[in-house]
Amino acid sequence: MEIVIIVGHRGDILNFPENTIPAFESAISAGVDYVEFDVRKTRDGVLIIMHDENVQRTTDGVGKISEMRYEEVAELDAGSWFDKRFEGLKVPTLEETLRCLKDRCGAYLEIKVDGIEEEVIQILEETKMVKDTLILDGNDVEKLKRVRKLSPFTPTEFQAISSEEKWIDMALEAGSRVISIHKKLINRDFVEKAHFRCLLVTTWPLVGVNEVLRAVNMGVDHLVTDDPWGTISILRNYNHKLRQGK
């Protein structure tokens, strides 16, 4: 089996509330190569970690992040929605998250709102995470070009929304080194065409033996998983069987 990169999707979201420091810590302990997380901006300009534009799904609050001050976001409970054991967990900032990951694993950073690329790069520079971060910024070619211009040493990932080869063309135009595609859309032909044109391939979100091994057998390079512990265990077992010739 070729070397694959394991990415914890919003941390270890099978066992912890997504996009929180404990979820990131668990994914790191499992042995991931990267932790994936989502960046948004508060009304007063603080970059925080949350997938949705609204806070209600993953906190005890209500409202849009873009309309809230950081002080309000910092008071939210980001844990009890998942399990009462995690009551009181806070929404982390981008800086806190990068300092958690530094020298332990890479950052798979998804920019969820327009116009914050320069601020993101500035914090990457301040935390010395420029070369240990991969930036996802959708499939807008010009936005990804802007990221590459701002930080030439930070690789980017382009998101395909079908397995048509035109998305590979666009990824290359954007200067991305990686192309991602959802597990329901990926096929071997897409992976082979991307590899032929020197792109690495990511698929997400993987859970369980069938999904993980299907991706591996297609030659996928980056496995984004909701279950880092389980995925790494599956791959270790698979490697053991390969060594034994089973």
The full 3-state SS of 68-88, as one line of letters, equals CCHHHHHCCCCCCCCCHHHCC
This prediction's pTM: 0.95
**Does any domain span residue 106?**
yes
For residue 210, what are its two tokens?
């069938």
For 222, the domain range is 5-54+93-243
Residue 69 lies in a domain: no
Contact 74, 55 (CB under 8 A): no
- 172 occurs within a structural domain: yes
What is the CATH classification number for the domain harbouring 164?
A: 3.20.20.190
Q: Give the pLDDT confidence score for residue 244 in this predicted structure.
A: 57
| Domain presence at residue 112 | yes
Residue 197 lies in a domain: yes
Spatial contact of 171 and 196, defined as CB atoms under 8 Å apart:
no
Asked whether residue 143 is domain-assigned, the answer is yes
Report the SS3 class of residue 181.
Answer: strand
* 81 within a domain of the structure (yes/no): no
Q: For the chain (length 246 residues), average pLDDT per consecutive 10?
A: 89 98 98 98 98 98 98 98 98 98 98 96 98 95 95 97 98 98 98 98 97 97 98 88 54
Is the residue at 126 inside a domain? yes
Note the pLDDT tens digit of each residue in 52-96. Answer: 999 999 999 999 999 999 999 999 999 999 999 999 999 999 999
User: Per the structure, how many domains does the chain have?
Assistant: 1
What residues pair up with 47 in beta bridges, in sequence order?
Answer: 41
Long-range contacts of 188-196, Cβ-Cβ distance < 8 Å, separation of 24 or more:
188/218, 188/219, 189/163, 190/160, 190/163, 190/165, 191/218, 191/219, 191/220, 192/219, 193/165, 193/168, 194/168, 195/219
